[in-house]
Amino acid sequence: MKDYDIVIIGSGPGGYVAAIKAAQLKKRVCLIEKEWVGGTCLNIGCIPTKALLASAEMYAHTKKAAEFGVEIKGEVSYSLDKIMERKRTIVSRCVKGVEFLLKSNNIDVKRGRGELVSQDEVKVKDETITADSIIIATGSKPKIIKGLEPDGKLVLSSKDALEINEIPENFLVVGAGVIGIEMATFFNSLGVKVTIVEMLDAILPTLESEKLSKALNSLLMKRGIEVQTSTKVSKIEKKENSLSVTFSNGEEREFEKMLVAVGRVASFDGIDIEKIGIEMNSGFIKTDKRMKTNIDKIYAIGDVRGGMLLAHKASREGVVAVLNASGIETDMNYHAVPSCIFSSPPAALVGMTEKVAKERGIKISIGEYQYIGNARAHTIGEKEGYVRIITDENGTVIGGEIVGAQADTMISEIAMACEHRMNVRDVEKVIHPHPTLSEILMEAFDDAGGKAIHKPPRSKENVCETVSGRNGENDKLKGKEWLLRNG
């Protein structure tokens, strides 16, 4: 008899969720963690980043208090030390919460580097344990570019940026992915002059939404962030307290600090891929839809298996892996995994974008509604942005995106519609409370079916453009939408 039914290597949002699910199924579970319970997400990723962004957002909102009739005497300022202290307190509470859950589910947690010895053996320090099934959840780490190696002082990794002890006057962000944009938002909100450079021709290139990319790019620039696409860093020269940076266009600039956020790669610490014979796919572990590798009884979940490097995707993959390891055949579905960017304003998308649908030859209809046409958006001073709904020719919701306040929360309604392949006619029956931002979703869903109440009817030409997949939205109508809705 094996020591455990399931052994999981890595306790990030994929690993610890898998462990708890296995315990719920009455399995004997061992979770191995070499560093932090909660993994990158809770300790040096999602949670600390959002804590910093929340502080920066509060500071930025407070500076706009006069717009809401609120008078603040004296200059509004912030304390970086207290911002960092708040972040650490939040991280500590979240980690302790996960540790409590693991303990209350009677999960054995072993501290140390988990070395995969064979398809049913894992070594932790001087102990070798056996398992019927093993789940690899070792996550990812920042990609390192030659010549741009972080030094923790002038050239920063995302981890370094989360522990910065002095705010620079100007800051360079290399890479316009989610991490780069979120950190640029944080520093910009605190008054730093921020420049983003991206080697590809658009920000957020992996999300494949031209409209979302252009809209967010415009809003970032409106807030004072300089964005240069199709641009690389050719050379950096380190000085005592600054960097001289040469770009691929020949421009030379000086920055106090630089963040390198050019993507992440799988972390295989303790997993000898070649020795075990695990099949790979573009630098990540290859699995099927049940999270199985090519080696019997070995599964892989989360960042280490590639795809979208998202905590919530890893958690669901963890559940799927455990179900299959327990004999409950379950496939992982990726058609409705939301992605969120916690910029200012935030953005989110789920399902197919217009670009992807076109590439697959799907005839689509697009519904869209602007934040400026919503009463609640005006009351909270968040009038910038839009909601877009994409359906197939039968009206089935296949995707959607949001740029604007509370996008990260509201995307769940579109995700629900995508996951259950709902038709816009079904969503039309849902009563949305007034006045709320959720009514923007309601109008966009209705518009996808050509039945939006609070915007002018489309001309025949615009309807045809929308059905063919082009954006039939007439920007000149935005102001009229507001008048129609609010009189």
- Alpha helices, DSSP H, located in 64-204: 80-104, 158-161, 178-189
- Based on the residue annotation, tell me whether 434 is a catalytic residue of this protein: yes
How many Cβ atoms sit within 10 Å of the Cβ of residue 254? 12
Q: For the chain, give percent helix, strand, coil, nearest 5.
A: 35, 25, 40
How many Cβ atoms sit within 10 Å of the Cβ of residue 166? 7
Q: The tokens of 85 are what?
A: 């202290």
Report yes or no: 53 and 342 within 8 Å, Cβ to Cβ.
yes
Tell me phi and psi for residue 171, to 5 degrees.
-145, 130
Which are the contacts of 70, defined by CB distance < 8 A and separation ≥ 6? Answer: none
Tokens 């309601």 appear where?
442
How many Cβ atoms sit within 10 Å of the Cβ of residue 433? 9
Helices (H) and strands (E) in the chain, counts: 16, 24
- Alpha helices, DSSP H, located in 128-172: 158-161
How many Cβ atoms sit within 10 Å of the Cβ of residue 207? 22
Q: The tokens of 191 are what?
A: 């008054």
SS3 track for 382-433: CCCCEEEEEEECCCEEEEEEEECCCHHHHHHHHHHHHHCCCEHHHHCCCCCC
Tokens 């949305």 appear where?
432
Q: The tokens of 299 are what?
A: 């599964």
Report yes or no: 177 and 263 within 8 Å, Cβ to Cβ.
yes
Which of helix, strand or coil describes residue 287? coil
Which of helix, strand or coil describes residue 188? helix
Give Cα separations from 377 to 160, 221, 324, 434, 436 (angstroms). Answer: 36, 21, 45, 12, 8
Q: Each residue of 452-474: b (16+ CB within 10 Å) or e?
A: bebbeebeeebeebbbebeebbe
How many Cβ atoms sit within 10 Å of the Cβ of residue 221? 12
Active-site amino acid positions: 434
